[in-house]
Amino acid sequence: MDELQERMADKLYVNFSLFQSIPDAWGIDQLFPVLPIQGLNAPLERLAVLLDITCDSDGIIDHYS
């Protein structure tokens, strides 16, 4: 069921250099904290994956804690 939820997650494409600032989290097996700037007290309504629009294949955040 987890794989189905991951495939059904919204894909949010971003155009900024966040991925240049994130260390290679996949290489050190750690999560990089990403927080919304509004709605912190709102309940989670859907799953999403952040994708960078550049050609860098590492430009994806799909694991959150």
Query: Which of the pair, 31 or 58, is modelled with greater confidence?
Result: 31
Provide the percentage of residues in the chain whose pLDDT is more than 90. Answer: 0
Q: C-alpha distances in angstroms, 38 versus 26, 27, 31, 41, 51?
A: 27, 30, 21, 8, 20
pLDDT of residue 17: 64
**pLDDT at residue 22 tops 70:** no
Alpha-carbon distance of 48 to 5, in angstroms, equals 10
Domain tally for the chain? 1
Instruction: With beta carbons less than 8 A apart as the criterion, state whether 31 and 64 touch.
Output: yes
User: pTM of the predicted model, to two decimals?
Assistant: 0.56
The mean of the pLDDT values for the chain is 73
Q: What is the mean pLDDT of residues 59-65?
A: 66
**pLDDT at residue 43 tops 80:** yes
